[in-house]
Amino acid sequence: APAVSVTEIRRYLRAQGVPFQDGYSCLHAPSLFVPGQAEPPPPAGPPFTLFIDKTTGSFLCTATLAEGTWQDLQATVELRHRGLPPPGPGQAAEEEEEEEAAEARRAREDARRIWERALPLWELLDEEETRATKAAFGIAPLTDATLKRFGVRYLRAAKALVFPWFGPRDGALRGLKLVAAAEGRGDAAAPTEETFPRFDAYRNLFGLPLIGRRDTEVVLTGRELDALALHQATGVPSLALPRGAACLPPALLPYLEQFKRVTLWLGEDLRSWEAAKLFARKLSLKRCSLVRPGDLQPRPLEALNQGLNLTKILRAALPAGHKSIVSFRQLREEVFGELANSEQVAGVKWARFPELNKLLKGHRRGELTVFTGPTGSGKTTFISEYALDLCTQGVCTLWGSFEINNIRLAKIMLTQFATRRLEEQLELYDEWADRFEDLPLYFMTFHGQQNIKTVIDAMQHAVYMYDITHVVVDNLQFMMGHEQLSADR
């Protein structure tokens, strides 16, 4: 879809006589999908429910969950002027929507079955089992009242905590997340997660049903248990992002518009800190504060376990919007942080290429790496595995393959991911394809020579939508249309 500026959106709404208010990330307007919401709301009445993203023009009506592109919204406005109902999707889109709806129904059904089998932790008859379970997840300080308030359950068969996703309007179960305790030793072992529906359709701002309409302050955390710990220790409204520090989907922004102050406390490592700075830009810097990771400022659940004062940590959060001129005094802590966390500052390490870690230290944002070599030397095969290695560690990756098509590239990557020849074991294809689908990996659909501005626009859009932190271009000569100049590249 062509890009649209917020100035154009405002101009169009004014020209069409649609009242709107300026929000942080979105414009708020009366919903075209709710009868009788065409006028501005009275000061004490319910607010507007149509949210238009200032960056992309995409819209979401929180009352009906209708959503679409800026072009869809324009079509709806013009039909309304002619007294006609909102447009339905075309036939191809309708078939796709039906397929998506069927998939969503299946996921809801799976979620409902799991939810009915799961038990509240405090209802486990064996006290020893309850104690052992709480110890395994590091949640001994969390009270039954807190677990009950957030509706957390335990699935014995999978030894996993179950976090529900309730619809904001009807309170119906829309999905859930299963979190199994970390198998490894020490703090480095991350818990394993599974969501219903799959991660790209799982948009649960965990804790949202507990937010009151008058709440103006919220803390965003990277994990559900952190939201529980924060709420118990401080009483401040707390929400957990569905994919933690990996991504803040723009579809969630309308639900965060009511807050005048947003504190991001995503985790204790440098990647969480970088993600918090990125998300603050999406949410509007002027209302955001960030909790800097450090020894005395670990993630909220860890802070609760260590008996730290979480209210004090929140008060010490730094404003996200920096002044234009600073002295060393303001930079002092950040410089110390870089020195103290030199391993993390070096970036995300490659798991499959230990030699590369010696050479490049790790993958860092904002750096350009160029691979050159003669035709047929294996550049694409290597870069594919190089990027896949980072992607499996949660680095959101965008591929621009201008020389070989996406199907061939995806086949190479899937084979590298599965570390086996799937053409000889087709019965395993679905299992590996399901796992591969859950990676934060996206492909540009360009092929052959392209206008560089079009490509950069697509990259910028992907960075906003999916929080991309690694872009791969293969290769520059094909993109620029210079492949005839030289055999080697």
Measured CA to CA, the distance from residue 278 to residue 320 in angstroms comes to 10
pLDDT score for 475: 78
pLDDT score for 331: 73
Measured CA to CA, the distance from residue 331 to residue 2 in angstroms comes to 40
Q: Are 60 and 67 in contact (CB under 8 A)?
A: yes
Query: In angstroms, how far is CA 67 from the centroid of its own chain?
Result: 18
Q: What angle do CA 480, 483, 487 make, to 5 degrees?
A: 145
Comparing CA positions, the residue from 74, 78, 44, 38 lying closest to residue 59 is 74
Considering the segment(s) 354-480 as one domain, its CATH architecture is 3-Layer(aba) Sandwich (3.40)
Indicate whether 25 pLDDT > 60.
yes
Average pLDDT over residues 99-119: 88
Of the pLDDT bands very low, low, confident and very high (cuts 50, 70, 90), residue 113 is very high
Q: What confidence tens digit (pLDDT) does each residue in 342-371 have?
A: 777 788 999 999 998 888 889 988 888 888
Tokens representing 112 are: 């409902």
Measured CA to CA, the distance from residue 229 to residue 302 in angstroms comes to 9
- Which amino acid appears at position 236 of this protein? V
Of the pLDDT bands very low, low, confident and very high (cuts 50, 70, 90), residue 402 is confident
pLDDT score for 79: 84
pLDDT score for 37: 53
Lowest mean pLDDT of 155-159, 180-184, 371-375, 388-392, name the range: 180-184
DSSP H helix total and E strand total for the chain: 17, 18
Mean of pLDDT over the chain: 86
Relative to beta strand 153-155, strand 119-120 is antiparallel
Domain spans in the chain, listed from the N-terminal domain onward: 6-81, 103-201, 208-328, 354-480
Strand order in the sheet with 21-22: 21-22, 26-29, 50-53, 59-61, 67-68
pLDDT score for 471: 96
pLDDT score for 189: 53
Q: What confidence tens digit (pLDDT) does each residue in 213-232 have?
A: 899 999 999 999 999 999 99
Q: Which of 41-45, 80-84, 322-326 has the highest mean pLDDT?
A: 80-84
- 208-328 has CATH 3.40.50.970 classification: no
Measured CA to CA, the distance from residue 134 to residue 140 in angstroms comes to 5
